[in-house]
Amino acid sequence: MLKPLLATFVLAASALLSGPAQADPIIIKFSHVVADNTPKGQAAIKFKELAEKKLPGKVKVEVFPNSQLFGDAKELEALLLGDVQFIAPSLSKFDRYTKKIQLFDLPFLFDDVAAVDRFQASAAGQGLLTAMKGKGLLGLAYWHNGMKELSTNKDKLQRPEDVKGLKFRIQASDVLEAQFRALGANPQKMAFSEVYQALQTGVVDGQENTWSNIYSQKFFEVQKTIATTNHGVIDYMVVTNAKWWDGLPADVRKGLSEAMAEATAYGNGIANEFNERDRKRIAEGGKAKVVTLSKEDVAAWRKAMEPVWKKFEGDIGKDLIDAALKSNSK
């Protein structure tokens, strides 16, 4: 009788001396669809470094670039199902959750990335981060990519009439669809990972993207002309599953928030640098011709896009559009 009691006592004492077992780290999967050498790719890597440094042993962040885990058609669903914990889709992807986010797709709304930055930091911009919480999505940050340029497999790309009848790849966005229809072009919704092959084989004639995406995805190799339209913005919202986020321990949530803020500042800081660098690489490479538009050219594009603004003003809200326009004031 004494032996079993003694054994039980020894085991209990051993457990007390060794202390509580170390809990396994929280695994955080961060999925995105672009290359590591883009602003988003670099910001995601920085977030991993910072999060694991601030929360040693408590979290492990696994980054999956280039649609390795989920393509851009599936990643939002995967987030809501809990298969990933962080994604950073283009802002265009959220229009089925809130029509207000369509603001960012309006052509020629922002003068430059600095104006985008000012709006996103404003009360109106920050309000959009939590606008989808009721549907399970919580925005944590905006990550810059840059202003969009237009490219085609044709020799001429100066005025709106030069794209009439051409097929353009777009993200799944009602505003972007209307944008190309207003130009007399044919928009084709397509996953980002499929764009290079579609351009190469002539399934589509052109696309719109930032310089860093055009370079990293080698789109310039399968396009003849790129026009510096700066007609829109491609930015991302880093989102998480709202229920998962609210269920995290307070210290983990705090550490992840701090890591996200620092990674955001880092990523946004290099976005302009990347785009300028890659614009020069493309221009000097000579595979695609880079066309600079005059003020008159830009005015013609703006006029052609006016119907798009009128069509979506009701869904987005004039107050939100006015708030965005104010950000253009220096």
d(CA 100, CA 110): 16
Q: Give tens-digit pLDDT for 261-279.
A: 999 999 999 998 999 999 9
Mean per-residue pLDDT, 304-314: 95
Query: What is the pLDDT confidence band of residue 281, given thresholds at 50, 70 and 90?
Result: very high
**Domains of the chain by range and CATH?**
24-326 (3.40.190.170)
Rounded to two decimals, what is the model's pTM?
0.85
Query: What is the pLDDT confidence band of residue 35, given thresholds at 50, 70 and 90?
Result: confident
pLDDT at residue number 73? 81
Query: What is the pLDDT confidence band of residue 21, given thresholds at 50, 70 and 90?
Result: low
Q: Give tens-digit pLDDT for 52-77.
A: 999 999 999 999 999 999 988 899 99
Query: What is the pLDDT confidence band of residue 330, given thresholds at 50, 70 and 90?
Result: low
Task: Flag the least confident range among 67-71, 233-237, 280-284.
Answer: 67-71
pLDDT at 294 over 70: yes
- Tell the burial category of 4 from Cβ atoms under 10 Å away from its Cβ (0-12, 13-18, 19+): exposed
Per the prediction, the chain carries an average pLDDT of 92
d(CA 212, CA 191): 18
Classify strands 233-241 and 86-87 as parallel, antiparallel or unpaired.
antiparallel
d(CA 283, CA 275): 12
**H-type alpha helices, 223-287:** 242-246, 250-285
Cross-strand bridge partners of residue 235: 144
164 vs 2, which has greater pLDDT?
A: 164
Q: Give tens-digit pLDDT for 117-175.
A: 999 999 999 999 999 999 999 999 999 999 999 999 999 999 999 999 999 999 989 99
pLDDT at residue number 54? 98
